[in-house]
Structure 1
Amino acid sequence: MSDARTHLTDLALSLGFDVAGWADAAPVPADLGRYQSWLDSGRQGGMDYLTRQLPRRADLSSSLAGVGSVLVLGAAHSFPEQPVPARGVRLGRVARYAWTPDYHTQLEPLLERLKTEAESLGVRARGYVDHGPILERSLAGRAFPGWQGKSGMLLSTSLGAFVTLAVLLTDLPAPELPASHPDRCGRCTRCISACPTDAIGPDRLIDARVCLSALTIEHRGPLPWHLRPAVGEWLLGCDVCSEVCPWSLHAGPLATLFQPDPELAHPDLRRFFGVSEREFLRSFGHTAFARPRRKGMARNAATVVGNDPQRRGRDVLTLASRDPAWEVREAAAWAWGRWHDTTELERLSRDPQPEVVQAAQRALEELL
């Protein structure tokens, strides 16, 4: 069976993964306990499905009967900075993982190739790219040199923090594993100090209720009013904790499997307005922008423009003020308030949606 593991590991690396290693499929009680504590404290925010999936995360045989060991795979997405395309309203920042077409669609064929190869060796297998009920970071910390940093991210001395994970569950028996990698965070607290919303807890767990990545991607409806200034330039996701990590800085730009697209790294904000959801998906259905959907990206765009100290993107706010989604108009009201534009606020205070009226009135009151 060790020959099968070696063969699958070599194949994974030849397919373009930057790192691959094996872990015992049995969960680590301490890791499960920390995850349960995180759920119990409500820090998953509105992602209620995480609570429902806990029993399956605790027992991987629910995903593959007879599972014994897991091939954990990592692909770097620490891209170099991308040029800003000409024309358009190119404001805001996008997390690096989203600079390339949806990583799920890029990695799933590779997992299917590994699954087919495993089955040719008489090994039952099933692959997941973070959409399955699996504690990937816990497995990765045991499968190859890495550890869970103070930011909650998996850190590697060679890859830094910009690593996309995937797993191949197999019915191979549990492997003999080396000692876990030592924690290399030391006394460094750069990620904690740099977090725009103090989302990183002392237990190395993230509060999704205030984390900008969760807010700009997973959160539905208006963003919390008091956190909107902290969104700053972040149009989708947030890389601050990963960017300031010394191990990310040490690794430098490193990405062999994924290729960045400047149009995704610096999208034209106007493309999120004046189109239907179907039209939006025709343009962005193959990207991470599809997760918050059109109105989520439009809401984020209005917030980013409102945070722009140079007050660019007026055309975007005008579009947002007339958007069919009330959540976007509500965000526009907040943004006009940041720009001290009482004329637009007075107009939005007569909007047919109560939430938009409330936002406009609140913005006006804050200007007094």
Structure 2
Amino acid sequence: MSDAAQTLADLALELGADAVAWADADIPSSAVEEYAVWLRAGRHARMDYLERQLPRRADLGTSLPGAGRVLVLGISHAYPAPPQPAGGIRLGRVARYAWTTDYHDQLQPVLERLEGEAAALGVRAKGYVDHGPVMERLLGAQAALGWRSKSGMLVSTELGAFFTLAVLLTDLEPQGEDTGHPDRCGRCFRCGLSCPTGAIGPDRKIDANRCLSYLTIEHRGPLPWEHRTALGDWLFGCDICCRVCPWSEKAGPLARLFQPHAEFVYPDLSRFFGVSERRFTREWAGSALLRPRRKGMARNALNVLGNLRDPHGWPLLGAGAEDPAWEVREAAAWALAQWGEWAEVERLRGDDHESVRASVERLLTEKG
């Protein structure tokens, strides 16, 4: 390893990374074709940007001309849950990576510091945290930071599956020595067997159309009818596949840089109703919960309430039925039906949005 590479790796660890490793910036053609097959099968759901970005993902030189080596950082978000705050309607689960301030915001200064150090060493560099056309998991596997597991996630013998990836592209000369990491999944398939919707295929590929993380975060509009019950109490994301992984159990709580924020772990569902998008954005600043936007979180909350039927959530069903966003009113109709509140469902029969009316008719027809 060159002196510059060693200096950058040491600094990344000093700045909070839990594991680092180098890989060449070459993306194998076989990996590109594998990704293209996944796209052609439509398993990326409505994330059309993934198709548009394929040429750039296939060639890191489009992000950093002359890219030769990549420093891959692994940052653990394995931490115990904090105590639940008092008050509010705190129902539903949030994926562990979102328990802290948005990792993009936390890791960007780390990458900027690394970019600055690289420049001082005469190395051109560009950092990415899951916001650019980079195959982080593939690079992590090539760097032997971990292996691409049966869940599709990168898993490490040291960090388990609960860790976030960041990369620093550099123009350091490639070494041609990437060996990858041995596959340690063995015959275990806990991740696939535990997935509520069967989104994890036997080919180690995720079908985003069925993935609870995609549905609760990226998906716009009403939740797919056939997956609403399977969503259970998941309010934002899902990390069952990471939690049941034996390597996560063995690793235990390791997080240093990331620490949980109780309000993000146990959000008060009432804060998603009766507020403007601007106020929602202001109140949840720094949280990954901003990604589905206000109406997406209200929709998710109503789905959780429909599945749990917890009496504490009853006031929110009425608020949802009068929400200005039709997607939220549609979710309220479904939740009210799960509670058996058919008179309330009937009231939404005259809603001014066609999709809400159609869902109400479907509910009433299924009731018989």
User: What is the TM-score when the length of structure 1 is the normalising length?
Assistant: 0.98
Partner amino acid for 1:47?
M
Partner amino acid for 2:211?
C
Report whether the alignment pairs 1:73 with 2:98.
no
On the 8 A contact 1:20/1:144 being kept in 2, the answer is no
Report whether the alignment pairs 1:333 with 2:364.
no
On the 8 A contact 1:75/1:163 being kept in 2, the answer is yes
Residue 302 of structure 1 corresponds to 302
In 1: Cα distance, 2:249 partner to 2:258 partner: 19
5+ residue gaps in structure 2? none
Q: Secondary structure, in 3 states, of the residue corresponding to 1:43?
A: coil
Residue 197 of structure 1 corresponds to 197
Q: Secondary structure, in 3 states, of the residue corresponding to 2:70?
A: strand
On the 8 A contact 2:23/2:178 being kept in 1, the answer is no
Superposition deviation, residue 311 in structure 1? 4.4
Q: Secondary structure, in 3 states, of the residue corresponding to 1:298?
A: helix
Q: Secondary structure, in 3 states, of the residue corresponding to 2:364?
A: helix
Q: Superposed, which structure 2 residues align to 1:224-235 within 5 Å?
A: 224-235=224-235
On the 8 A contact 2:144/2:179 being kept in 1, the answer is no
In 2: Cα distance, 1:146 partner to 1:161 partner: 9
Partner amino acid for 1:68?
G
In 2: Cα distance, 1:339 partner to 1:358 partner: 19
Q: Deviations over 1:220-275 (max 9, x none)?
A: 00011111001101000001111110001111112100010111000000001111
Residue 220 of structure 2 corresponds to 220
Q: Deviations over 1:31-79 (max 9, x none)?
A: 2222111101000000000000000000111000111000111100012
Superposition deviation, residue 176 in structure 1? 4.6
Superposition deviation, residue 312 in structure 1? 3.7
Residue 167 of structure 1 corresponds to 167
Residue 109 of structure 2 corresponds to 109
* Total equivalences in the alignment: 368
In 2: Cα distance, 1:141 partner to 1:232 partner: 33
Q: Deviations over 1:157-199 (max 9, x none)?
A: 1101011000000000113535321100000010110000000
On the 8 A contact 1:311/1:339 being kept in 2, the answer is no
**In angstroms, what is the RMSD of aligned CA positions?**
1.1
On the 8 A contact 1:57/1:134 being kept in 2, the answer is yes
In 1: Cα distance, 2:73 partner to 2:309 partner: 42
On the 8 A contact 1:22/1:175 being kept in 2, the answer is no
In 2: Cα distance, 1:290 partner to 1:114 partner: 28
In 2: Cα distance, 1:367 partner to 1:88 partner: 33
Residue 350 of structure 1 corresponds to 350
In 1: Cα distance, 2:144 partner to 2:116 partner: 23
Q: Superposed, which structure 2 residues align to 1:132-143 within 5 Å?
A: 132-143=132-143
On the 8 A contact 2:98/2:287 being kept in 1, the answer is yes
On the 8 A contact 1:19/1:144 being kept in 2, the answer is no
In 1: Cα distance, 2:285 partner to 2:179 partner: 42
Q: Secondary structure, in 3 states, of the residue corresponding to 1:307?
A: helix
In 1: Cα distance, 2:117 partner to 2:145 partner: 25
Residue 365 of structure 1 corresponds to 365
In 2: Cα distance, 1:365 partner to 1:254 partner: 51
Residue 243 of structure 1 corresponds to 243
Q: Secondary structure, in 3 states, of the residue corresponding to 2:42?
A: coil
On the 8 A contact 2:24/2:178 being kept in 1, the answer is no
On the 8 A contact 1:270/1:316 being kept in 2, the answer is yes
On the 8 A contact 1:345/1:361 being kept in 2, the answer is no
Change (3 A) 1:178 1:35: closer
In 2: Cα distance, 1:222 partner to 1:254 partner: 37
In 2: Cα distance, 1:18 partner to 1:175 partner: 24
Residue 188 of structure 1 corresponds to 188
Superposition deviation, residue 144 in structure 1? 3.4
Q: Secondary structure, in 3 states, of the residue corresponding to 2:308?
A: coil
Change (3 A) 1:155 1:271: same
Partner amino acid for 2:322?
R
Residue 7 of structure 2 corresponds to 7
Partner amino acid for 1:45?
A
In 2: Cα distance, 1:327 partner to 1:40 partner: 29
Q: Deviations over 1:273-315 (max 9, x none)?
A: 1111111110113111111111100100010000004444001
User: What is the TM-score when the length of structure 2 is the normalising length?
Assistant: 0.98
Superposition deviation, residue 352 in structure 1? 1.1
Q: Secondary structure, in 3 states, of the residue corresponding to 1:301?
A: helix
In 2: Cα distance, 1:240 partner to 1:312 partner: 26
In 1: Cα distance, 2:84 partner to 2:306 partner: 20
Q: Secondary structure, in 3 states, of the residue corresponding to 2:8?
A: helix
In 2: Cα distance, 1:178 partner to 1:202 partner: 26
Report whether the alignment pairs 1:98 with 2:89.
no
On the 8 A contact 1:77/1:255 being kept in 2, the answer is yes
In 2: Cα distance, 1:231 partner to 1:320 partner: 19
Residue 45 of structure 2 corresponds to 45
- Runs of 4+ residues deviating >3 angstroms: 309-312
Q: Secondary structure, in 3 states, of the residue corresponding to 1:119?
A: helix
5+ residue gaps in structure 1? none
Partner amino acid for 2:337?
G
